Amino acid sequence: MMQICDSYSQKYSLFNAMNRFIGAVNNMDQTVMVPSLLRDVPLLLEELDAAGAVCPPGDAALPPGDPGAYFSRRDMYSHYMLLKSIRNDIEWGVVQPPAGEEAARKKDKLGGGPAEEGEGEEDLEQQFHYHLSGLHSVLSKLTRKANVLTNRYKQEIGVSSWGQ
C-alpha cells in the first residue's frame, strides 16, 4: 500500500505546488462573494511585493523593475479573473493548436529547419528541469497573489478577521 505524506522532500513537488495554488484560488473564490466589488481597487505596492510581482523586462513605457508601474493599470478584479483562468487551465487543460500550426510555430521559434535527432534528445532532461523549476516558481508566486487578493478583499469589505 502506498502512503502519501507531505514530507520536506515533497515541499518542492509540482503536484503539491499545483494543489496549493488551486486551494488558494478556491479559497479566494469562496471568499469573494461579489467580484464586481474588486473593480477599480488597485493592489497596493506592499501587496505586490508580498505576492512576488515583478515588472516584465522590455516594456519601454515603464520604469524597469517597478512592479507598481506595471500592476497599477490592473485592478483586483483583473487579478481575480486571471487567477481563476489559470486555475481552470490547470484543472481542465489548455486547447492545443492544430498539429500543422504547432510545427510551424516551433520551426519559426527555433529559427530554421528541424534539428538533428540526437541533439534535441540530450537536452530534454535539462529543458525539463529548467521548465519544472520555472513552473514551480510561477505557481508559488500565483499562490501568494491569490492569498494577498483574498486578504485584501476581506479588508475592503471590513471583515479582516475571517478565517484567521
**Within a domain: residue 95?**
yes
Q: Which domain holds residue 72?
A: 12-109+131-156
**Within a domain: residue 104?**
yes
Q: How many domains, in total, are found in the chain?
A: 1
**Within a domain: residue 2?**
no
Q: Which contiguous run of DSSP H or E holds residue 149? A: helix 117-156
Per-residue pLDDT of the chain (164 residues; tens, 9 = 90+): 445 555 666 778 999 999 999 999 999 999 999 998 898 888 775 565 655 554 444 444 444 444 444 444 578 999 999 999 999 999 998 887 776 666 666 655 555 545 455 556 668 999 999 999 999 999 999 999 999 999 999 988 887 555 55
Report field, pTM of the whole predicted structure over 0.85: no
**Within a domain: residue 5?**
no
Cα–Cα distance for residue pair 24/9, rounded to 1 Å: 21
Q: How many CB atoms lie within 10 A of CB 137?
A: 12
